[in-house]
Chains A and B, each alone.
Chain A
Amino acid sequence: MTPIDLIDELKALVLDAAEKTAPPGGLTDDELLFGPESRLALDSLDALQVSMAIQERFGVRMTDSKETRRALTSIAHLARHLSERRA
C-alpha cells in the first residue's frame, strides 16, 4: 500500500468508525481531529471506536487510550504511527 493509499484508507476508516460525515471539501491530511476547534470534533468514545477499527483492519492494537489520542492528532500523524508500528 502506498502512503497515499494508506492516507485515503485512514480517512475513510476514521469517518466510518466514528460514524461522521466528511466535512466540506473532505478531510485534509494535517487537520486536527480532536477538540472543539477541529471540524470533526472527535471525543474519547470516537477514539475508542477508531482504535478498534484499526486493530481489526491493520492488526495493530492501540493499548493505551492516551497513545491513541496522540496517534489520532491528524490523519497524517495516524499514518506515520501505523507505519512505524507495522515496520
Chain B
Amino acid sequence: MSFQHRHAAHCESGVMSNLLRHHGVQMSESLAFGLSAALAFAYLPFIKVSGQPLIAYRSLPRSIIKGLLAPLAARFRFETFRSPLAGEQRLDALLASGQVVGLQTSVYWLPYFPPDMRFHFNAHNLLVYGKEGDDYLISDPVFEEPVRCASADLLRARFAKGVLAPKGLLYYPQSIGRKDVTPAAVRAAIRKNCRMMLAPVPIAGVRGMRLLANKLQRLPPNDANSAALIGHIVRMQEEIGTGGAGFRFIYAAFLQEAAELAQLPSLSGFAERLTTIGDGWRGLALKAARMVKGRESVDPPAIAAKLREQAANEEAFFRDLKLAVDG
C-alpha cells in the first residue's frame, strides 16, 4: 500500500493529519489540532497518575479525532474488543482490505521506543498501514521514519491495563464528506476553544490554572510532597504529548494557518502572542525543574505566582481572540 508518513510533534494530531492526507484532505498537524479545538488546561485532582493529580494541557484523548468529524462531515468507526485475539484478527482483516487503521496503545510496551522514553501512558496513537510476516508496518507520528513492530508486542500495547486502558481500540474513516476546510469551520473551532479556556468550571482552562496555583500556594516548602508535586507538574508538562508549551506552539501555528483560511489577517498577531505565552510555560517548567534538581530551593509560592501569570496572560489572550473572531 502506498502510504506517506510524516513526522509530527504530537501523536493524535499527527495521526489524524497523516490519515486524512492519505484520504485526500490537505490537513497539517496544526490544522488538525486547532480545528478540533484541542488546546486546554485541566487540573483533575480526583484522577491520579503515579499518585499525583492529572494535569493536562490539551483536551481529552480521542477529542482530536472526534472533533474533526463535524468540520469534515466525516464518519469514523471506532471498535474495542474484549479479547486480544479478536482485536488482532480484526486489525488483520482491515489491513487486508486496504484500510489504514488508527490504534490507541501504551507507550510502555512499544519496543521501538527507546527504553528511557517509555512510560505507562495508555493513550498513544499510531497508524498501521500494512503487515509483512509477523511485523506490522507502523506510522508512529512522533518518529521521523516509519517503524515495525512484532505482532505480540503490538497486541500487548493495545491491551495494556490501567488508566485510559485502550481495550484494543482501533478506528478508521467510513466516509469523509468534504475534503476542504471552510472559513466558518475555522471560526467555529476558535470560538469553541475560547469558550473552553474561559469556561466557568473550576478545574478547566484559566480557572484550573488558578486552582492549581492555590494548591501550590499552600504547600510547605520543606515537605517532600511539595517537591514531588512540582516535579510531577513539570513532567506532565514536558513528557506527555509534546509538552505543555508545545501545545501552545502548535495552536499558534494553527492560528497562522487560520489567518488565511478564515480570512482574518489579525490572527497572525495572535499566533505571535501565543508563542510568547508558550515561552512563559517553558519558563515555568524551567524554574520547576531547577527546584526538583536541587539547583534552587523549593518554593511552591514562586511556582504558584508563575502559574497565575500564565493564567492572566491566557485569559486576556482568549478574551481578545474571541472578540477578533466574533467581530
| A residues in contact (CB < 8 Å) with B | 19, 34-36, 43-45, 47-49, 51-52, 61, 63-67, 69-70
Contact = CB atoms under 8 A, between A and B. Distances in A.
A65 B117 contact: no
A45 B234 contact: yes
12 contacts: A19-B293, A44-B235, A44-B238, A45-B238, A45-B293, A47-B238, A48-B282, A48-B285, A63-B250, A64-B9, A66-B9, A66-B242
B286 A35 contact: no
B83 to A, nearest CB: 33
Nearest to B295: A19
B116 A34 contact: yes
B238 A35 contact: no
* Pairs A-B, 6 closest by C-beta atoms: A45-B289, A63-B249, A65-B243, A64-B9, A35-B116, A64-B242
B162 interface: no
Contact of B289 (A34, A49, A63, A66): A49
A28 to B, nearest CB: 20
A64 B253 CA distance: 13
How large, as a class, is the contact surface on chain B?
Answer: 20 to 34
Contacts of A49: 286, 289-290
A55 to B, nearest CB: 8
Nearest to B275: A61
A49 B238 CA distance: 11
B34 to A, nearest CB: 15
Contacts of A63: 9, 242-243, 245-246, 249-250, 278
Interface in B239-278: 239, 242-243, 245-246, 249-250, 275, 278
B163 to A, nearest CB: 20
A64 to B, nearest CB: 4
Contacts of A66: 9, 117, 142, 242
Given A44-B239, A48-B285, A70-B144, A36 B116 contact: yes
A52 B286 contact: yes
B238 A48 contact: yes
B133 interface: no
Contacts of B285: 48
A68 B290 CA distance: 18
Nearest to B292: A45
Nearest to A36: B116
A65 B285 CA distance: 12
Interface in B192-250: 234-235, 238-239, 242-243, 245-246, 249-250
Interface in B1-33: 9-10
Contacts of B282: 48, 51-52
Given A34-B116, A44-B235, A65 B246 contact: yes
B114 interface: yes
B36 to A, nearest CB: 19
Nearest to B234: A45
Contacts of B279: 61
Contacts of A69: 117
Of A49, A61, A63, A69, most B-chain CB atoms within 10 Å: A63
A63 to B, nearest CB: 4
B115 interface: yes
Given A45-B289, A64-B249, 7 more contacts: A35-B115, A43-B116, A44-B238, A44-B239, A45-B238, A61-B279, A66-B9
A69 B120 CA distance: 19
Contacts of A45: 234, 238, 289, 292-293
Nearest to A17: B286
B18 to A, nearest CB: 16
Contacts of A64: 9-10, 242-243, 246, 249
Nearest to A67: B9
